[in-house]
Structure 1
Amino acid sequence: MRAAVAGVCALALLAGPWARPAAAQGDTTQAGATPAAAAPATAPQDKQQEQQQRIERLDAEMKDSSAVQKRLAAEVAALEGDRAKLNEALLDTAIRVRETEGKLDASEQRLLLLSREAADIKESLEARRAVLAEVLGGLVRLGRRPPPALMVRPDDALESIRSAMMLGAVLPELKAETDLLASELAAQERVRQDTARERDALAELKRSLADERARTAALIEEKKNSLQQGEAALAEEKTRAAALAAEAGNVRELMERMETEISATRKAAQEAAQSEAAQGAGGSATDRLAALQNPGRLSPGVPFEDAKGLLKLPVGGAVLKAFGADDGYGGQEKGMSLGTRIEAQVASPSDGWVVYAGPFRSYGQLLIINAGNGYHILLAGMDKITVELGQFVLSGEPVGIMGRGPQLVSSAGLGTAQPILYVEFRKDGNSIDPTPWWATSESEKVRG
C-alpha cells in the first residue's frame, strides 16, 4: 500500500510544476517544427554524426587498453632477470587482489542489506494501502470543504463546534499517519541513493580487480618464462605425471610414485630434505615472520612445523566444512572446504615445491605442495593452476584461479552453487588438522 501512496505523491508532484512546462514545450515544438520535407535531409547527417561518435569512442577505448598493456609490459620488462623483485611484485599484487576481493564481498553484502531494507519499506507501504488511501482522501476533502469559521453567522456555531470536535478526534491520527508516510518515503529515497552510490563503488572495485588480475597474469607468465627447465623436458614430465595420476588409486600412492618416478618431483623432494637439514629450529614469532617476508628465498623461510599460527588461508571466503566434520557418508572430513568468489585468486598457504599439478579423480584440478619434513598441502577444486611441476612457490604466491561453480564431485553435498576450494594438510601421508597453522584472524572465520 505504501508503494502506491508513494506513487500517488510522486504523480502529484510531477503533475504540478513540471507538467505544464512539458506541455508547453511540446506545443512550442509542434508550432515551430521543421516541415516534413526537411526531415530526410537531416537524417543522413545525424547518422553520420552518430557513426563518427561511435568510432571516436572505440578509438578511445582501444587507446586506453593499449596504454594499460604497454604499462604492464614495461613493468614486467623492468623486472626481467631479477627474481626477487619479480616475486615481490607478484606477492604485492596478490595481496591487493585479495583485499579487493574482500572489499567486493563487503560491498555486495551492503547492497543485499539495502535491497532487503527497500523491500521491507515497500511491503510496509503496501500493507497500509487502505489506511493511507483514507488519509489522502480525508486531506483532499478538507482542502475542498474546509470547516466553517466560528465567527461568521450565529446559525453556523453549532456546525462549527461539531466540526471542531470531529477534527479534534481525527486530525491527531491523520497527522500521525501523514508523518509516518513522510518518514517512510524519506527512508525509501535514502535507500535508493545509498544503493546508487554502492553500485558505483562496486563497479569501480570490479574495474580495479580486473586491472590487478591482468597484472598478476603478466607477472605469472614472466615467472614461468624465467624458469630454467626446458619446455620439452617439462612437457615430457607433465605427460608422465598424467599417466601416473591415471594409474594411482589414491593420493598417497600418487605422491609416492611421483617422488620416485618424476624427476622434477624427485628433485623437489630432495631440495626439501636439504632445506630441512640446513634450517635451524624455533626462533621468535617476529623472526619467523621476517624470514617469510624475504621474496628472494629459494627454500622455506621457516620449517613448516614452526609456521603454526602464521599461515593465511589460500583464498578469501567462509569455511563451509572444517576438518573432522561429518562428511555425510558416515565418516569425517579429512580437510576443509572454503566457499569462494567466482574466479577468485588462490594463493599458496606455505612455502614449498610443487610436486603435482593437474586433474586427479574426484578432486578435479589438484595441486600438491611439498612443504618439507614430510608435510604436504593439497589444494583442489580450482579451474586453473598457474604453477608448474618442480617450481618453488612462496607463501602467498598465486597458484591458481577458481571457476564459476563447484569443481569437486564431493562438493555437491554442500548445497551451494559457489566455487569451493578443498584444502588438506598431510604429514607422512596421513591427513592432519590444519587449524593450528592458520593465523588467528583467519581461523576465527570457521563456522560449524
Structure 2
Amino acid sequence: MRLTRGIVAGQAAARDGQPPAVLVLAVCLLAGVSSAGPSVARAQAVGTPAPAAAPSADDIKQREQELEAVRAQQKNAAELQERLKVDIAAIGQNRAKLNQQLIETAAGVRDIETKIADAEARLLPLDAREQEIRGSLDSRRSEIVEVLAALQRVGRRTPPALLVRPEDALQSLRTAILLGSVVPEMRGRAEKLVADLDELVSLRKSIAAERDRMAVDRDKLKAEQTRLSTLVDERQRQQSGFEKDMAAEGARAIELSHQVDSLQGLIAKMEQDLKSAAEAAAIASRKGAPASLNGKPNLAALKDPSRLSPAIAFASAKGLLAFPVNGTKIRNFGGSDGVGGVEKGISLATRRGAQVTTPCDGWVVYAGPFRSYGQLLILNAGGGYHVLIAGMERISVNIGQF
C-alpha cells in the first residue's frame, strides 16, 4: 500500500456532539492519550399531552417541500454512487491508477477540510463583532427609540424593525438624514446609529457569504469522502483473495497484543511472531535506503504511485513529511506530559471525523486496538524506524500492506 502523501489510514475518533479528536503521532515511542466525550442526561416531563392542532396548508406545503428535498438528495447520492462504480471499475484494473486516485482523493479531502477550518476561523471574529454591535444597540434602546419615534412622526409610518431588518432601518435613516427630516439636535445620534447599522449590514453579508461557501465546501467534502470510501473498498476488494488470511492475521495480532505491556514489546512481538508483519519487516530491511541524486533524496520518486518500497529513506525525510491530519498541535515532542515525564510524540486536536493519512511510506506492522491507545497503526518505515499513529475511530489498512 502507498503510505506517503495521501493513502487513507483512518478517521479521527470523534463524533457529533463530542469534543475534538486527539490524534497522537510518534516515531519509535508514543505517549498514551485517552479522552472521553461528555455524558448527556435527558428527562421527559410526565403529563397529559395537549391535543395536536391540525396542520395548516402552509405546514403541509412546507413538509412536502422538505420531503421533496430529501428525495432529491437521495437521488443525487444514488447517481453519485453509480458514477463512482463506473469510474472505479475502469481504474480498478490498474494498480498504479487506483493508488494515484487514492492519493489525489485523500489530498482533496484534506484540502477541503482546510478550507472549511479556515472559513470557521474567519467567522469567529465576524460573529463576535456582530454580537458586540447588537449588544451596543440594545444598550442604547431608549436613545434609539427616541430617534425612531422622530422618524415615525415625520414619515407618518412605523419604522422597520431595527435588529430584525437592519437593512431597511438603515435605508430609512439615510433617507431621513438626506431629506433633512432629522432635527439638528438628533442628527449626531442618528449618524452614529447609521454607522452601527451600516457595519451590522456589512457583517451580515460577510457572514452569509462565508456560510454559503462553507455549505458548498461541505457538499464537496461529502462527495469526496464518498469517493474515497469507494476507492478504499475497491482496494480492499482486490485483496479479497486474501480475506481469510487477513482475518486470521488480524485476530492473531489482537491476541498477541494482549501479551505485551509496551509499544516496544508490541512491535517486537508483531515482527517476530506474526507472519505478515515479519515479512514486512524483512522486506524493509532488505530494501535499504532508496537511491539518491547527488547525495540528496530523489523527490521525483514520490510521484510514482506504483512503487512498492519507500521513495525516500525515512532518515532523509526530515522537513518533508506533513502531519497525518489537519488540526492544532496541543502537545509537542520533548515537552512535559503533565505527569512528570516527557512527551515521546506529538498530539493534534482535530475536527470530528477528520481524514487521517500516513505521513510516510512504510509497511503496516500493526493495525488495531491496543490498550489505552484505542485504534493504533504502526508502520515500519525502514532503516530501523517505526511510525505510530493513535486516536483514530477506524483504520482501513491491513497488516503487511505497503
Interval containing the TM-score (normalised by the shorter chain): 0.7 to 0.9
Match of 1:315 in 2: 325
| Displacement of 1:204 | 1.1
1: CA distance, partners of 2:98 / 2:379: 21
Q: For the structure 1 residues 51 and 210, does the alpha-carbon distance in structure 2 shift closer, same or farther, using more than 3 Å as the test? A: closer
1: CA distance, partners of 2:147 / 2:63: 54
| Displacement of 1:173 | 5.4
Q: Where does structure 2 lack aligned partners over 5 or more consecutive residues? A: 1-55, 157-181
C-alpha offsets along residues 360-381 of structure 1, whole Å, 9 cap, x if unaligned? Answer: 1111110000000110000000
| Displacement of 1:131 | 3.5
Q: For the structure 1 residues 128 and 233, does the alpha-carbon distance in structure 2 shift closer, same or farther, using more than 3 Å as the test? A: same
For 1:371, which of 367, 381, 396 is the aligned residue?
Answer: 381
- Secondary structure class of the residue paired with 1:221: helix
Match of 1:384 in 2: 394
C-alpha offsets along residues 221-263 of structure 1, whole Å, 9 cap, x if unaligned? Answer: 1111223762111111111110111111100001001101000
Instruction: Give the letter aligned to residue 119 of structure 2.
Output: S
2: CA distance, partners of 1:273 / 1:213: 35
Q: Does 1:108 align with 2:120?
A: yes
TM-score (norm 1): 0.66
Instruction: Give the letter aligned to residue 271 of structure 1.
Output: I
| Displacement of 1:193 | 2.1
| Between 356-365 and 198-207, the greater mean CA deviation after superposition | 198-207
Q: Percent of pairs identical after alignment?
A: 42
Match of 2:366 in 1: 356
Match of 2:220 in 1: 208
Q: Does 1:344 align with 2:357?
A: no
For 1:237, which of 245, 249, 260 is the aligned residue?
Answer: 249
Describe how 1:184-263 pairs up with structure 2 within 5 A: 184-227=196-239, 230-263=242-275
C-alpha offsets along residues 72-110 of structure 1, whole Å, 9 cap, x if unaligned? Answer: 001110112211110101101011101100000011122
Q: Could you say what the CA RMSD is over the residues aligned between the two structures, in angstroms?
A: 2.8
- Secondary structure class of the residue paired with 2:102: helix
- Secondary structure class of the residue paired with 1:320: strand
Match of 1:147 in 2: none
TM-score (norm 2): 0.73
2: CA distance, partners of 1:78 / 1:178: 67
Instruction: Give the letter aligned to residue 203 of structure 1.
Output: A
2: CA distance, partners of 1:352 / 1:200: 40
Q: Does 1:176 align with 2:176?
A: no
- Secondary structure class of the residue paired with 1:339: strand
Instruction: Give the letter aligned to residue 392 of structure 2.
Output: M
C-alpha offsets along residues 325-379 of structure 1, whole Å, 9 cap, x if unaligned? Answer: 1111011111100011110000010000000000111111100000001100000
Describe how 1:273-352 pairs up with structure 2 within 5 A: 273-276=285-288, 279-281=290-292, 283=294, 288-352=298-362
Match of 1:22 in 2: none
Structure number with higher helix proportion: 1
Instruction: Give the letter aligned to residue 248 of structure 2.
Output: E
Whether the 8 Å contact between 1:288 and 1:307 is mirrored in structure 2 is no
2: CA distance, partners of 1:171 / 1:254: 82
* Higher RCO (Cα < 8 Å, 6 or more apart): 2
2: CA distance, partners of 1:233 / 1:90: 24
Match of 1:76 in 2: 88
2: CA distance, partners of 1:361 / 1:117: 46
2: CA distance, partners of 1:95 / 1:332: 32
| Displacement of 1:281 | 4.8
Whether the 8 Å contact between 2:291 and 2:298 is mirrored in structure 1 is no
Match of 2:31 in 1: none
| Displacement of 1:62 | 4.0
Whether the 8 Å contact between 2:257 and 2:266 is mirrored in structure 1 is yes
C-alpha offsets along residues 305-327 of structure 1, whole Å, 9 cap, x if unaligned? Answer: 11111111111111111111111
C-alpha offsets along residues 392-413 of structure 1, whole Å, 9 cap, x if unaligned? Answer: 0xxxxxxxxxxxxxxxxxxxxx
Q: Where does structure 1 lack aligned partners over 5 or more consecutive residues? A: 1-42, 145-169, 393-448
